[in-house]
């Protein structure tokens, strides 16, 4: 469905030349939850930006539903690591931004935005400024903003990276529920191996600089995952060990 074909990326700045990705190929299947896991600086964000059309690959191409991807696609939504809610807009107006870009009339826009906020449990704060929300609520708004456009693919760049463990686990369950309810394809970047195992159908391991995909694992656990103790599951523990061994670092170093 979303095919990454021999993608490479080089950043050229006056000071230096950074090869962020080399020869990365993998296919995201329709409806699956796929995570990218790897140490800092191995090009995960770069690849996600390329998938969203925010950056062009220096080599290779992205094929989405049989067509080469050029620029930003209507069917792909993005949840930023830094969220970047616009402080001069209310929560609801932030969720409306993509709808405005599509020229949707105001009344319909409002309804669609409120519906997206309802999905993440935030319709009560639709009219407050975003900076009055907690970090976890802000990240939910970031998710609602992408969901409002009903994307076929949702790209999420370490969305829970800044949050405390408690909020993080709540949001993991919420995103897992949203995913099973909506059937959206999700590509999810994280540093957290447990988070990747809890959420994903498959995990792609990234390594090195330039970054490359060095292994792809199937997560062979039943859904829904929030109904049993994934962390204590023998298969999950084994998979965790194997990922950490493969990446050649201990979890503490990875984070």
Partner 1 sequence: MSVAAVRGRRPSTQMLEPLLPAAAVAVVLGVWQWSGSFLSPILISTPTRIAQDLVELFARGVIFSPLAESLEELVIGGSVGILAGIALGVLMGRYEVVDKVLSPFVNFLNATPLVVIIPLVIIWVGISQNARLLFIFLITLWPVLLNTLAGMRNVNRGYVDVGAAFGLSETQMLRKITLPAAVPFILAGIRISAGLAIIGMIVSEMEVSLTGLGYLLVTYGNSFFTGRLLAVVFLSSMFGVANVLLVKWIQASFFPWIAGAAADQR
Measured distance CA(118)–CA(209) in Å, rounded? 41
User: From the CB of 47, what's the least distance to Mg ion, in Å?
Assistant: 10
Percentage helix, strand, coil, to 5, in the chain?
40, 25, 35
From residue 27 to residue 66, the character string flagging contacts with Mg ion as x (rule: CB under 5 A) and all else as - is ------------------x---------------------
Site for Mg ion contains 94 (CB under 5 A): no
The three-class DSSP label of residue 58 is coil
User: From the CB of 46, what's the least distance to partner 1, in Å?
Assistant: 13
Q: Which is nearer to partner 1, 64 or 80 (CB)?
A: 80
User: From the CB of 151, what's the least distance to partner 1, in Å?
Assistant: 11
User: From the CB of 4, what's the least distance to ligand ATP, in Å?
Assistant: 14
Q: Which is nearer to ligand ATP, 46 or 176 (CB)?
A: 46
Laid out side by side, the sheet with 17-28 consists of: 17-28, 2-12, 59-64, 67-68
| Interaction partner, residue 195 (Mg ion, partner 1, ligand ATP, none; CB < 5-8 Å by kind) | none
Measured distance CA(161)–CA(184) in Å, rounded? 22
User: From the CB of 59, what's the least distance to partner 1, in Å?
Assistant: 22
| Interaction partner, residue 140 (Mg ion, ligand ATP, partner 1, none; CB < 5-8 Å by kind) | none
Measured distance CA(190)–CA(235) in Å, rounded? 20
Q: What are the backbone angles phi and psi of residue 124, rounded to the nearest 5°?
A: -65, -25
Q: Which is nearer to ligand ATP, 5 or 19 (CB)?
A: 19
**Residue at token pair 């463990």:** 165
Measured distance CA(91)–CA(113) in Å, rounded? 9
Site for partner 1 contains 80 (CB under 8 A): yes
From residue 123 to residue 162, the character string flagging contacts with partner 1 as x (rule: CB under 8 A) and all else as - is ------x-xx------------x---x-------------
Measured distance CA(46)–CA(62) in Å, rounded? 13
Extract the tokens encoding 111.
Answer: 């309804």
Measured distance CA(93)–CA(150) in Å, rounded? 17
- Give the footprint of partner 1 on this chain (CB under 8 A): 52, 54, 72, 74, 78, 80, 82, 84, 86-88, 97-98, 100-102, 129, 131-132, 145, 149
């Amino acid at each position: 469905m979303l095919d990454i074909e021999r993608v490479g990326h080089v950043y050229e700045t006056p000071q230096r030349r950074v090869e962020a990705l080399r020869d990365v190929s993998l296919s995201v299947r329709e409806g699956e939850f796929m995570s990218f896991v790897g140490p800092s600086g191995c090009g995960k964000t770069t690849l996600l930006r390329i998938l969203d059309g925010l950056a062009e690959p220096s080599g290779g191409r992205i094929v989405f539903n049989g067509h080469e991807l050029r620029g930003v696609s209507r069917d792909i939504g993005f949840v930023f690591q830094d969220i970047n809610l616009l402080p001069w807009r209310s929560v609801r107006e932030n969720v409306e931004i993509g709808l405005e870009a599509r020229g949707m009339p105001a009344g319909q826009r409002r309804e669609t935005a409120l519906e997206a906020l309802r999905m993440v449990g935030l319709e009560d704060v639709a009219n407050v400024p975003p900076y009055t929300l907690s970090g976890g609520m802000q990240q939910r708004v970031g998710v609602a903003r992408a969901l409002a456009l009903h994307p076929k693919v949702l790209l999420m760049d370490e969305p829970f990276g800044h949050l405390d463990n408690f909020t993080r686990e709540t949001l993991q369950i919420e995103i897992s529920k949203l995913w099973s309810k909506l059937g959206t394809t999700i590509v999810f970047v994280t540093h957290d191996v447990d988070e990747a195992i809890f959420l994903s159908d498959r995990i792609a391991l990234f390594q090195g600089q330039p970054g490359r995909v060095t292994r792809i694992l199937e997560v062979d656990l039943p859904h829904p995952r929030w109904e049993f103790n994934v962390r204590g599951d023998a298969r999950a523990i084994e998979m965790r060990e194997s990922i950490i061994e493969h990446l050649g670092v201990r979890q503490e170093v990875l984070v």
